[in-house]
Amino acid sequence: MSMQELVRFTVPAEELTLALAVIERFSRDRLANGVLRHYYTFLPEGREEMATDVRLVARQAQLALVALATTQHRYLYLCSAGEVVLLGDFDRGIDDEEVLASFGWGSDAEFRSRFPSFADLEELADDGPGNDAGPASCVACGVAPGELHVFGCPVELCPWCEGQLSRCNCRFDQLDTDQIDSDEQLDRFADVLAEKGRVPFSVDQNPAYPSAGTDEPPAASDADGRPEGDSQD
């Protein structure tokens, strides 16, 4: 099955364009490709979230440790010649001593002290939109801080409930309906949303961004000036 088909079976329709863009962005990187394929084939814990980023943790002889971020989670994968294994949650570290030893780490604590946050890891995509801007741009749709997300971006926050706009129920409430299945409804929602004032991207919205628990201050991301009534086509 092609990667595109795997993605299509997994992510909700409104996230599909972005999920495919992420696949495309990493398509020239063999490691990232293998991990993305494994992710979409096995879906850890049955979660159906789109992958947003893939980064290299470490490389040692024939082995590579790769971290994959989704909209809500981060995972750690071990890659060897043609084989990909899910080790677990990136944030939970590594409990397999053999894996730790192959990379020359004495303990999980040593691993964690070297790789405290996902955002500091080396990017795997060799080019593509947003890569120049590094982690300072939206991991899903690539816009810069202060700009509006591409409509439908799963990172965009809802101005009504401050949840994930692509997942919360506000669009149904706003349109007073149980189901949204027409372009006309989507257009109408885009209008209502623009009228309310969309939440522009700021770096701390990125799921890969180091949040509470690290002492790293947010890089001056004062996304001031929310555009009012600015309806982007």
Residues that bind Zn ion (CB under 5 A): 138, 140-141, 149, 153, 155, 158, 160-161, 163, 168, 170
Distance of closest approach, residue 217 Cβ to Zn ion, in angstroms = 22
Q: How far is CA 144 from CA 78, 140, 207, in A?
A: 32, 11, 15
State which residue, 55 or 149, has the beta carbon closest to Zn ion: 149
Distance of closest approach, residue 203 Cβ to Zn ion, in angstroms = 11
Q: Are 111 and 105 in contact (CB under 8 A)?
A: yes
State which residue, 31 or 170, has the beta carbon closest to Zn ion: 170
Calpha distance 98→210 (Å, rounded):
28
Distance of closest approach, residue 162 Cβ to Zn ion, in angstroms = 7
Q: Could you tell me how many residues make up the chain?
A: 233
State which residue, 64 or 205, has the beta carbon closest to Zn ion: 205
Distance from the Cα of residue 134 to its chain's centroid: 13
Calpha distance 52→11 (Å, rounded):
12
Backbone φ and ψ of 187, nearest 5°: -60, -45
State which residue, 101 or 161, has the beta carbon closest to Zn ion: 161
Helix, strand, coil in percent for the chain, rounding step 5: 35, 15, 50
State which residue, 77 or 118, has the beta carbon closest to Zn ion: 118
Distance of closest approach, residue 36 Cβ to Zn ion, in angstroms = 19
Distance of closest approach, residue 3 Cβ to Zn ion, in angstroms = 21
